[in-house]
Structure 1
Amino acid sequence: MHLTDPKLKSLKPEHKKYRKSDGQGLLIEVLPSGTKRWLFRYVWQGQRCDIGLGTYPAVSLKKARAVRDHYRELLADGIDPRIWREQKDREKFQIQNNRFEQVAEHWYELREPTWAQSTRKKRRALLDNDLIPRLRSRPVTEIETFELAQLLKEIAGRGALESAHNARQVLNQILRFAVQSGLARHNPAAVLQGVLPPKQVEHHAAIVEPAKFGRLLVAIDNYQGSMVIRTMLQVAPLVFQRPVELAKMRWENINWEESLWTIPWQDKKEGKSNKMDHLVPLSRQAIDLLRTIHPYTGHLPYVFRGQRDHQNHANPESLNRALEKLGYKDRINSQKSHTKRPEHSAHGFRASARTLLDETLHERVELIEAQLAHRVRDSLGRAYNRTTHLPERRTMMQKWADYLDELKRVAIKSS
């Protein structure tokens, strides 16, 4: 007997659910809660299957019958209604979620925890200022390589070549993510190599001549600014780690007994790509400097506290600003007579150590590279772990600190 609206309204809940048939596989199921829901029952490859069609009266009897008839037509054509509906749901999801802005924001949300703060700011600015305004509502399936190339050229055309190169990398990552998420079949940004002129490689400025480096060290000792920044500047050449890693040095990571500083993998440049802490042996001179500053910041988390927020660490860029005050900026580099660039930068302590340890102190390259936290492999291609050659590195770091003292003595004597 076919169902009618009066019959449907008269169905009362019982202590167990029950069903009434409208014929040809359409059922109404009444739950103890009073909810009435439509089901379509059919047999597929010998198995009984049920598909929910929604609740009554939100889905009317007329609508339920129309859906049932459509599903019966699919079955007659050899199509399982479940598979058909899953495909439609996927298509609907793609239509609703494959706009560039949505894909880009989802990509950013997933990747952002793995980036350093400076990287987050740069990529956020790139999305907000260049990429999303141009591609906001475009489905990722419709974006073409030629329009991306035009966008990159426009960014480069305003004098922002480095931003254009960064935009190419970000576009490639976002659209590759779209492919991996099933929102697109191909990545139009994957073939943008060569669209832009190459970036000019600008190495971090570094003094590598012993006499000049000695004069720099003396100037640092005489820095008249903040005691915290002066101490950080003095420690920098002794440990030659990246400025951001030095700025994030925590008291809890200093082992006084072993004269060892542990840089947690979370604070390293590689981040999650290399979950291995880095060990930095501390020379007597480095330990002395840390003991000097301990009465001022030892009660705080960071060795080099922030200027305003003492619970935070110092800004790594404060090192470069201090060097600028000492006159190490905008000097003519003798090797590039027509280019003004800093003669020395905070990051340059790494290059200074790399060169002088190798060419003047004749230390083994693998020890230097390991101490720089560069990935070093042995003769069999195996990556050294964090404790490899630690005794030899201790000796090298003390030899390096003593050498810096000698450079300062010579500089003072010759001044």
Structure 2
Amino acid sequence: MPLTDTKIKALKPKAKPYKVSDFDGLYVNVTPNGSRLWRFKFRHEGKEGLLSFGGYPATGLKDARRLRDDARALLAKGINPSAEKAEAKAVAAGKAENSFNKFADLFVQKARKEGRAKVTIKKMEWLLDDARADFGDMPIAEITPQIVLKTLRKREKLEQYETAKRMRSRIGGVFRYAVASGQAENDPTFALKDALIRPTVTHRAAITDEETLKRFLTALDNYGGKRMTVIALRLLMLFALRPSELRKARWDEFDLEARVFNVPAERMKMRRPHAVPLTDLALELLKELKALTGWGDLLFPAQTSAHKPMSENTLNQALRRMGFGPDEATSHGFRSTFSTFANESGLWNPDAIEAYSSRQDKNAVRRAYNRSQYWEERVKIAEWWAGRLVDLSDG
């Protein structure tokens, strides 16, 4: 007679496994430990086969009969249900193997092998966190633009428009990596290019006129804070570097005899090494700084640890104490200060000016073919810029 839930619940374990049939090949296998397991016995092409449908009560009586009926329908079509189940399992395993999380991991590993800075890797992982949480376990080939957009909209609701933009870019990088690996057909973030709210671009404040620069240099001459901070700001202006490229400088990167500061590629935004000419003024400042911090590896160690560089906040706080608000001057803005004065002088090749401050040419074709370093002209620019700053600060 067919099974009922009451009969199944009443089944007791014995010393050896035993079977209790339902009908059409379905039965319950009762084990010595009390488990009640669904089995379906069938024949295909003259050979006996067996399917497992899980255990009772996780798989109920109705579900077990439905699974049996599905298997019998396949048999009626000449299909082996065991082979079909194995294939479906393999497909599911393959999808899990090619999840978004897998390619996100590979994408981050690639960035590490390329020598990206630790802070860059950390930011990359942070930008991928939301995507991992929302669709990380999904097969990457099945993720649609709408699925990605739903994740990005969460940031937009918080008015974090720039974050949403950067997230789209990083998520797109993962998809393009998967496309190149042959596990995805397209990058769904491409379709979202015009779907996100465009963030308002806020440029870092920079001193770009002569009178304000004179006022700043006077304030710097009279600054009552730490001498190391003053030297850092002076060298930042002379070198036209990004703050992080100077703050993390080490003494072994300076060749004083050759008069060059070699910034390693891993610290440069463009991921290529950069050489900075050292003028007489720069050498004087370095000599003074050597007496202050030459006992360690870093030019500008933090106050709390000799093994960590000073923070960019230290430089910006000094600017505030000198009376320059965040809308008037920032440590990052001194590259623009140099670029403005150098270009307005009309004395130098624009490409040499860009090379001096390690800016990337926006013209991709010209960037690819224009490989000149303009070193001799950059040395002249360095001397000119140092002299200009001295003149503006009344010597």
TM norm. shorter chain > 0.5: yes
Please, which of 294, 298, 307 is the counterpart of residue 294 of structure 2? 298
Please report how far the alpha carbon of residue 356 of structure 1 lies from its aligned counterpart in structure 2 after TM superposition. Answer: 0.9
Alignment of structure 1 residues 181-260 onto 2, 5 Å: 181-260=181-260
The aligned counterpart of 1:286 is 282
Alignment of structure 1 residues 43-192 onto 2, 5 Å: 91=91, 94-113=94-113, 114-128=115-129, 130-192=130-192
C-alpha change, 1:379 and 1:95, in structure 2 (3 Å) is closer
Please report how far the alpha carbon of residue 174 of structure 1 lies from its aligned counterpart in structure 2 after TM superposition. Answer: 1.4
The aligned counterpart of 1:307 is 303
C-alpha change, 1:180 and 1:289, in structure 2 (3 Å) is same
User: Residue 269 in 1 paired to residue 269 in 2?
Assistant: yes
The aligned counterpart of 2:62 is none
Please report how far the alpha carbon of residue 90 of structure 1 lies from its aligned counterpart in structure 2 after TM superposition. Answer: 8.2
2: distance between equivalents of 1:185 and 1:289?
56
Please tell me the residue identity of whatever aligns with 2:305: D
C-alpha change, 1:182 and 1:220, in structure 2 (3 Å) is same
C-alpha change, 1:353 and 1:265, in structure 2 (3 Å) is same
1: distance between equivalents of 2:180 and 2:159?
33
More deviation in 116-125 or 240-249? 116-125
SS in 2 for 1:223: coil
C-alpha change, 1:90 and 1:188, in structure 2 (3 Å) is farther
For the 8 Å contact 1:375–1:383, the answer to whether it is kept is no
The aligned counterpart of 2:370 is 383
Aligned length: 308
- The unaligned stretches of length 5 or more in structure 1 are 1-65, 67-86, 331-341, 411-415
The aligned counterpart of 2:315 is 319
2: distance between equivalents of 1:111 and 1:380?
22
Please tell me the residue identity of whatever aligns with 2:155: I
C-alpha distance after superposition, 1:291-328 (max 9, x if no partner): 00102222322211222221232223432232223232
C-alpha change, 1:260 and 1:117, in structure 2 (3 Å) is same
- The unaligned stretches of length 5 or more in structure 2 are 1-46, 48-86
For the 8 Å contact 2:240–2:335, the answer to whether it is kept is yes
Please tell me the residue identity of whatever aligns with 1:126: L
Identical amino acids, percent of aligned pairs: 27
The aligned counterpart of 2:37 is none
Looking at secondary structure, tell me which structure has more helix per residue.
Answer: 2
1: distance between equivalents of 2:234 and 2:215?
13
Please report how far the alpha carbon of residue 349 of structure 1 lies from its aligned counterpart in structure 2 after TM superposition. Answer: 0.8
The aligned counterpart of 2:336 is 351
For the 8 Å contact 1:97–1:103, the answer to whether it is kept is no
C-alpha change, 1:367 and 1:141, in structure 2 (3 Å) is closer
Please report how far the alpha carbon of residue 350 of structure 1 lies from its aligned counterpart in structure 2 after TM superposition. Answer: 0.8
C-alpha change, 1:108 and 1:373, in structure 2 (3 Å) is same
SS in 1 for 2:156: helix
The aligned counterpart of 2:42 is none
Please tell me the residue identity of whatever aligns with 1:208: T
C-alpha change, 1:143 and 1:381, in structure 2 (3 Å) is closer
C-alpha change, 1:257 and 1:161, in structure 2 (3 Å) is same
SS in 1 for 2:305: coil
Please report how far the alpha carbon of residue 379 of structure 1 lies from its aligned counterpart in structure 2 after TM superposition. Answer: 9.0
CA-based RMSD of the aligned residues comes to: 2.8
TM-score of the aligned structures, taking structure 1 as reference length: 0.67
SS in 2 for 1:191: helix
